[in-house]
Amino acid sequence: MDANMRLREQGLDLINANFNLPGRHNILAKRKSIVSGYTKLWDVMIREWRAPRITDAVWLIYAASYLFNTRGLKWAVDPVSLGNLVPEAPAIDAGRDLNDLDFVLLTHDHADHTDIGLWNQIKDSRCHWVVPAHMAERFFDNMRLKRPRCSVVVPEQKIMLAGACITPFDAPHTPPGATNKINAFGYLVETANGSYLLPGDIRAYDPLCLERFKGVSAVFAHVFLGRAAARDFNPPLLAAFVKFYLNCHPKKIVLAHLYEFARQPEDCWLAEHADALARVFAAADHELAIVTPEWFKETLL
């Protein structure tokens, strides 16, 4: 069955996905260019991110690692340095560059989302850490932090930080059929200017999951269209992915979790996938804004 037929069958007769990906070569070329440009890209990004602003923006600092500046409020989700999983990357000085973070949200403890070296570089800053209960042991084993600058949270326990309202929720990261649950949190972050929904790494696309967040300013969608399916012409979860994110009726979709360099090519989602997904989303909802942030570059929200 080709991609169009599968989509038609699932009520999404929208596109010809037609993924024809060069695979490993493409991934290695991207890795080389990001590593060689990293120091400069990082420095320029930090200057932009630190500057006062009256709009909301996000910068991607790895596949699914975010810095936000929302009207001057500076926060991060799963901050990692490039060197965390790309050993040939030059070092950065997060202690110097990220010391004015207001808060950090952590989602789960997979290697591409946790950078204990970076955590420790910024542990003496004024930043407030939001740590899921399932990560608390690992967090405190590795960070000597004083309690007032840290909140251990459970799903649905709203907290207010620097004027932002943060709602953690249980995110379905466990693949269907798996016996061991993968604990992961998503977050809704409501600021003065907008509401940002970060469900995280989703593996079970139950369309009811995001329904209660209807009308968010932006949802962050981590591209995953099936296990070991990144080089398929017809990735099995294409339609499920699209329906899942459309169900929160977002004004904007931010596509991320591309070029996760630590993965095998068949598990590494690329810009071409994001482009095809953008066409599907655009066809399904003409009002919807769709953006695939370039790493280290400002993306307005």
Name which of 222 and 231 has its Cβ closer to Zn ion: 222
Q: Does 263 bind Zn ion (CB under 5 A)?
A: no
Helix locations, the chain, DSSP H: 3-9, 24-50, 94-97, 116-121, 136-142, 238-246, 271-284
Q: Does 115 bind Zn ion (CB under 5 A)?
A: no
- Rounded to a whole number of angstroms, the minimum distance from the CB of residue 248 to Zn ion is 20
The residue within the footprint of Zn ion, chosen from 110, 149, 243, 249 (CB under 5 A), is 110
- Rounded to a whole number of angstroms, the minimum distance from the CB of residue 173 to Zn ion is 6
Helix (H) or strand (E) holding 259: none
Contact region with Zn ion (CB under 5 A), list: 65-73, 80-88, 102-110, 126-134:
102-110
- Rounded to a whole number of angstroms, the minimum distance from the CB of residue 204 to Zn ion is 13
- Rounded to a whole number of angstroms, the minimum distance from the CB of residue 182 to Zn ion is 7
- Rounded to a whole number of angstroms, the minimum distance from the CB of residue 64 to Zn ion is 8
Coil, strand or helix: which one is 224? coil
Q: How many CB atoms lie within 10 A of CB 7?
A: 22
Name which of 38 and 62 has its Cβ closer to Zn ion: 62
Q: Which residues contact 228 (CB under 8 A, 6 or more apart)?
A: 264, 266, 267
DSSP track, 123-188 = TTSSPEEEEEGGGHHHHHHH----GGGEEEE-TT--EEETTEEEEEEE---SPTT-SS----EEEE
Query: Tokens representing 291?
Result: 């953006």
Contact 58, 286 (CB under 8 A): no
Contact region with Zn ion (CB under 5 A), list: 17-25, 31-39, 105-113, 154-162:
105-113
Contact region with Zn ion (CB under 5 A), list: 32-40, 75-83, 106-114, 205-213:
106-114
- Rounded to a whole number of angstroms, the minimum distance from the CB of residue 92 to Zn ion is 23
Helix (H) or strand (E) holding 196: strand 195-198
Name which of 110 and 249 has its Cβ closer to Zn ion: 110
The residue within the footprint of Zn ion, chosen from 56, 78, 102, 201 (CB under 5 A), is 201
Contact region with Zn ion (CB under 5 A), list: 31-39, 42-50, 79-87, 194-202:
194-202
Contact region with Zn ion (CB under 5 A), list: 39-47, 143-151, 199-207, 236-244:
199-207
Nearest to 260 by CA among 116, 134, 110: 110
Q: Which residues bind Zn ion (CB under 5 A)?
A: 110, 201
